[in-house]
Amino acid sequence: MNYIVFDLEWNQCPYGKEFENPRLPFEIIEIGAVKLDDKKQYLDTFHALIRPVVYRKLHFQTSRVIGLTEEDLRKGRPFRDAAKDFIAWCGEDARFCTWGTLDLTELQRNLRYFHMEQLLPGPILYEDVQKLFAIAFETRKERRALNYAVEFLNLPEDGEFHLAKEDAVYTAKVLQQIPDDVIREHYSIDCYQNPKRRDQEIRLRYPDYEKFISREFATREELMSAGDVAAVRCFTCGRNVRRRVRWFTDGSGRNHLAVGYCEEHGYVKCKLRIRESEGGKFYAIRTTKHISEEDMLAIRKKQAFLRLKRQNRRRK
C-alpha cells in the first residue's frame, strides 16, 4: 500500500454563482501529489497544469490565491489526459490523503463531468490529514490551516502555499509526523459515490464510535421510517436498545439525534446526518458512540428546548 498525498487547485465561474454550471461548480486546474510507501518514505511526485474548458477566465479570488495566470493555464493539458495519467501513477494499491475533505470529492465530481468516474469507484476510504493532525496534536474537533500545522511542527517552509504541488509536499510532511496508530484508527470515507442498495451499505468501526452509511431512499420521510436505518444500536454489543430520547431534528433539518440505553453498556448516542445525492435521492450517515448520563440529560434538555421553540413559533 502506498499513500497518495494530493492537493488540487480549482477555478469557479467568474461571473457569479447564477451563471455557473451546476454539474461542475469547481473546475480543477492543477493537480499536485506525493507518493509515500507504507512506511511514509518518499517515492515520487506528480504534477499537472490543466487547461480549463468550462471556466476559461479565472475567478478573481482564484487568481489572487494560486499565483497562476490564464496564460499559464492555456499551456496546460486536457483534464482527461491529466486525470488518466494521475490515476495510473497512483497505482492499484493506493490510499489517498488530503488536507480536509474537499479535494477527493471535487476530483470525483470532475471525473463524473468528463464521464470518467469508472476510473475511481467509490465510496473511497482515505486519510484526512487535517483531522489526523487535530487528533494527534490538538483536540479532536479543531481544524487548522495547512500553514499552521507546518509551523506548529517546525517543518521547513521550502515553497509557497496554495500551489498544488507545494501543498501536497507540505501535507505529506505533516502526515510523516503523525503516529501510525492514529492514521490506522481514524481513517475517513468519502461518500460522493454513495451506496445505492442495501448490499452496498457500509459499517465502519472506530476505537470509540461506529459509522453506518445507508442505501438511497426516494424521500427523507421514507429514510426515517426505515427500521434498520433509524435503529439505535449499542456501540459495544451491537444490539438494538430502547430509546431514552426519541429521534429529533437539531434544527438544521439534516441532522437528527437519539439516545438509547443498553442494560450492559450504558447510554449510546446516535447522530443521523441526511445527505442528498446528485441524483436527488437521500441517504444517511449514522454515527453511534457511548455517552454519560450527564450527556444524555443535556441532549434531552436540547430536545425540550427545540420542541418549545417550535410550539411558540406556531402560536405566532
Sheet of 210-213, strands arranged across: 202-205, 210-213, 282-290, 266-276, 255-262, 242-249
Residues 121 and 245 in one domain: no
Residues 150 and 264 in one domain: no
Q: Which domain holds residue 18?
A: 2-188
Residues 257 and 128 in one domain: no
Residue-wise pLDDT for 157-191, tens only, equals 888 888 899 999 999 999 999 999 999 999 999 99
Residues 184 and 199 in one domain: no
Q: Are strands 282-290 and 210-213 parallel, antiparallel or unpaired?
A: antiparallel
pLDDT at 288 (0 to 100) = 95
Residues 171 and 77 in one domain: yes
Half-sphere exposure of 263 (CA within 13 A, CB side): 1
Sheet of 42-49, strands arranged across: 42-49, 27-36, 2-11, 94-98, 124-128, 188-190
Q: Are strands 242-249 and 2-11 parallel, antiparallel or unpaired?
A: unpaired
pLDDT tens, residue order, the chain (316 aa) = 999 999 999 999 999 989 999 999 999 999 999 999 999 999 999 999 999 999 999 998 887 788 788 898 999 999 999 999 999 999 989 999 999 999 999 999 999 999 999 999 999 999 999 999 999 999 877 899 999 999 999 999 888 888 899 999 999 999 999 999 999 999 999 999 999 999 999 999 998 899 999 999 999 999 999 989 989 999 899 899 999 999 999 877 678 999 999 999 999 999 999 999 988 999 999 999 999 999 999 999 999 999 888 888 777 6
Counting the structural domains of the chain, the total is 2
Residues 19 and 149 in one domain: yes
pLDDT at 316 (0 to 100) = 66
Q: Which of 161, 188, 215 is at the close of a domain?
A: 188
Cell of 251: 434544527
Residue-wise pLDDT for 80-124, tens only, equals 999 999 999 999 899 999 999 999 999 999 999 999 999 999 999
Residues 219 and 146 in one domain: no
Residues 147 and 16 in one domain: yes
Q: Which of 172, 188, 204 is at the close of a domain?
A: 188
Residues 48 and 89 in one domain: yes
Q: pLDDT averaged over the chain?
A: 93
Cell of 53: 474548458
Residues 154 and 267 in one domain: no
Q: Which of 188, 219, 254 is at the close of a domain?
A: 188
CA–CA separation, 219 vs 91, rounded Å?
38
Residues 89 and 221 in one domain: no
Residues 34 and 138 in one domain: yes
